[in-house]
């Protein structure tokens, strides 16, 4: 959710932290702040708004050690007071996560005379540190973390310590070294150009970084160690490269993401890994594909494909629901967890829950060093590259490809995988044609002026309808929903009038007439309609009946969502731009949802 960073041993801590926060801003942009050790004390600057709001205030900050934060608000509205770092006594703290028992801790501390200046759960951490500090920093940190329940990644400054402390529990933090300086951050791109070598901290670890050296211990105080490796080239932060927004840049990167994902599946011997675990397990009786938001939509699309290929029950579930209900998953279940970041709290916990039930767990993720990879029996890589726009585009298409390849590898037909890999060699060209040739401006203007936009589809097109609706809501704030086309007359049609637009997706010719019937019903009631279809799949009558008609190149059913979604992504992007919204940083959203 939030982005945190720490550094020590640099020339100017404030400028280093500011640069790192720019690369972490996709994790939250409600407020930002920096604290530095300077003149024997801690100096803090924090502001409501985006990271750029800090720039005028940090010009005069000195010091070689500091911590920084960019916030996605959980407890307390965006404000200067609720911005991190939080400072009390000898300490300053930045936090990513949620302290679940903060209310009882806050009451205890208030009863002891502590004064709170924010509405956040995070402020209890700095008061606990101050409470337990008697000159021994390690003991104060250990006493504090043992009191916390929830999920937390922390960077801590103490005025009596020349460096910083990093703490990890359930939320990500990476430490790095380079040029005699030491660093910590929520994600690797923030360390690019700073650290030469990095290590991913494990749950329950504490790092003490000072005077050119990082030492580790666990929450019991016992010494721990981590292996450092060279910062991967893939971690370098993305730049706009001439595009006006990251969203449109990343849509244009879909062909490359598809090619890289297919290549990684082959080069990392994923088919062989899947075959080995399938043999070890004696096959599977059912499959659960799990995710949140866009990842759930790719999971739902994959469920259609998986059931067709495997001939066993395959169902998609939202991770937040799976983890809390009594599930029928067991030793015969294949559980596939889908997460762009690999840190999505609900998805990681759902995977852990499935594993406790005896299921085999596969992770499909865009981040090789993420938490979910530590849970999985097999990791299927998505190679979409760094995705900055909060609304997922290229990573969704990468997930579609990775999941389709997974099911093709697991099915009984030896030709299924070969056929899919062959098709993937030309799929990028189909996506490129969809990106280049789609004329969406008129549809986007219709969306911008509509009171609601509804997306409908049947079969594999239904998950795409859900994703199209989500994209439009995320970046343009235009309300609407995605529905199965057959459900239209079971209540939803009551919403249709002259102020609404319905977008129908058709990629299966056998279902085209059925969806066309729904479009007829919409038009008969004064609604406006747009059709997005594979060439040759929609009835010819729709070209005359629908107000807008967009065709894209056809492909096989299992891979179709990677192509048919592109016009919907472009419509969402253009609608946001027309309405003056920032498509990269939609209000109230953050890229990585690492809390419930």
Residue linked to tokens 């927004």: 245
CB distance 388 to 402 below 8 Å: no
C-alpha 4/C-alpha 2 separation (Å) is 7
Environment class of 13 (CB within 10 Å of its CB; exposed 0-12, middle 13-18, buried 19+): buried
Do residues 329 and 359 lie in contact, with contact meaning Cβ atoms separated by under 8 Å?
Answer: yes
The answer to whether the beta carbons of residues 174 and 185 sit under 8 Å apart is yes
Buried b (16+ CB within 10 A) or exposed e, 67-91: bbbbbbbbebebbebbbbbbbbebb
Alpha-carbon span 569 to 474, nearest angstrom: 11
- Catalytic residue, chosen from 2, 217, 438, 558, is 2
Answer for the pair 201, 220: CB distance below 8 angstroms, yes or no: no
Does the annotation mark 473 as catalytic?
no
Q: How far apart are the first and last CA of the chain?
A: 10
Residues in contact with 313: Cβ distance below 8 Å, sequence separation at least 6, in sequence order: 285, 286, 287, 307
Q: Are 82 and 45 in contact (CB under 8 A)?
A: no
Separation of alpha carbons 532 and 568, rounded Å: 8
One of 46, 473, 585, 591 is an active-site residue; which one? 591
Q: Check: CB of residue 122 under 8 Å from CB of residue 93.
A: yes
Residue 2: active-site member: yes
Whole-angstrom distance, CA of residue 586 vs CA of residue 596: 19
- As given in the structure block, the two tokens for residue 106 are 């806050």
Are β-strands 223-224 and 213-218 bridged in parallel, bridged antiparallel, or unpaired? antiparallel
What residues are annotated to the active site?
Answer: 2, 591
């Amino acid at each position: 959710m939030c982005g945190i960073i720490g550094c020590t041993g640099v020339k100017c801590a404030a400028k280093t932290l500011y640069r790192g926060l720019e690369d972490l801003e996709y994790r939250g942009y409600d407020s930002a702040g920096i604290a530095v050790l300077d003149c024997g004390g801690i100096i803090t600057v924090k502001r409501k708004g985006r990271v750029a709001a800090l720039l005028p205030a940090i010009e005069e900050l000195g010091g070689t050690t500091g911590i920084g934060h960019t916030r996605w608000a959980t407890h307390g509205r965006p404000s200067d007071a609720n911005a991190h770092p939080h400072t009390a006594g000898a300490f300053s703290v930045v936090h990513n996560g949620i302290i679940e028992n903060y209310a009882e801790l806050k009451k205890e501390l208030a009863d002891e005379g502590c004064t709170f200046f924010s509405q956040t759960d995070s402020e209890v951490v700095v008061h606990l540190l101050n409470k337990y500090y008697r000159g021994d920093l390690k003991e104060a940190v250990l006493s504090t973390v043992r009191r916390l329940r929830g999920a937390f990644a922390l960077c801590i400054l103490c005025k009596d310590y020349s460096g910083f402390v990093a703490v990890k529990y359930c939320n990500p933090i990476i430490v790095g070294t380079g040029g005699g300086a030491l660093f910590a951050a929520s994600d690797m791109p923030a360390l690019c150009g700073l650290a030469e070598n990095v290590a991913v901290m494990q749950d329950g670890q504490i790092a003490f970084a000072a005077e050119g050296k990082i030492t580790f211990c666990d929450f019991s105080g016992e010494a721990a160690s981590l292996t450092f490796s060279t910062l991967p080239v893939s971690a370098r932060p993305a730049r706009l490269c001439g595009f006006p927004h990251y969203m449109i840049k990343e849509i244009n990167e879909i062909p490359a993401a598809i090619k890289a994902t297919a290549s990684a599946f082959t080069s990392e011997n994923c088919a062989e890994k899947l075959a080995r675990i399938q043999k070890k397990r004696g096959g599977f009786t059912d499959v659960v594909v799990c995710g949140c938001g866009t990842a759930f939509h790719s999971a739902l699309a994959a469920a259609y494909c998986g059931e067709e290929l495997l001939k066993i029950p395959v169902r998609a579930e939202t991770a937040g629901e799976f983890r809390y209900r009594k599930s029928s998953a067991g030793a015969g279940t294949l559980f596939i967890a889908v997460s762009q970041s690999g840190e999505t709290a609900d998805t990681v916990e759902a995977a852990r829950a499935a594993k406790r039930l005896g299921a085999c767990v596969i992770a499909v993720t865009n981040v090789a060093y993420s938490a979910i990879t530590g849970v999985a029996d097999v990791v299927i890589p998505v190679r979409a590259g760094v995705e900055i726009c909060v609304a997922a585009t290229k990573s969704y298409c990468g997930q579609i490809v990775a999941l389709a390849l997974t099911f093709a590898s697991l099915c009984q037909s030896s030709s299924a995988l070969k056929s899919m890999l062959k098709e993937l060699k030309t799929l990028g060209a189909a996506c490129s044609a969809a990106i280049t040739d789609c004329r969406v401006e008129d549809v986007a203007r219709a969306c911008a002026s509509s009171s609601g936009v509804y997306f409908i589809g049947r079969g594999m097109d239904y998950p795409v309808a859900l994703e199209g609706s989500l994209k439009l809501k995320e970046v343009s704030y235009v309300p609407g929903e995605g529905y199965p086309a057959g459900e239209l007359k079971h209540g939803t049609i009551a919403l249709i009038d002259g102020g609404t637009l319905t977008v129908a997706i058709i990629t299966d010719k056998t279902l085209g007439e059925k969806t066309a019937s729904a479009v007829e019903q919409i038009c008969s009631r004064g609604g406006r309609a747009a059709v997005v279809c594979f060439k040759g799949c929609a009835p010819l009558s729709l070209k005359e009946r629908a107000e807008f008609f967009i065709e894209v190149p056809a492909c096989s059913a299992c891979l179709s969502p990677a192509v048919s979604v592109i016009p919907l992504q472009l419509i969402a992007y253009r609608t946001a731009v027309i309405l003056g919204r920032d498509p990269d940083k939609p209000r109230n959203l953050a890229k990585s949802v690492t809390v419930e």
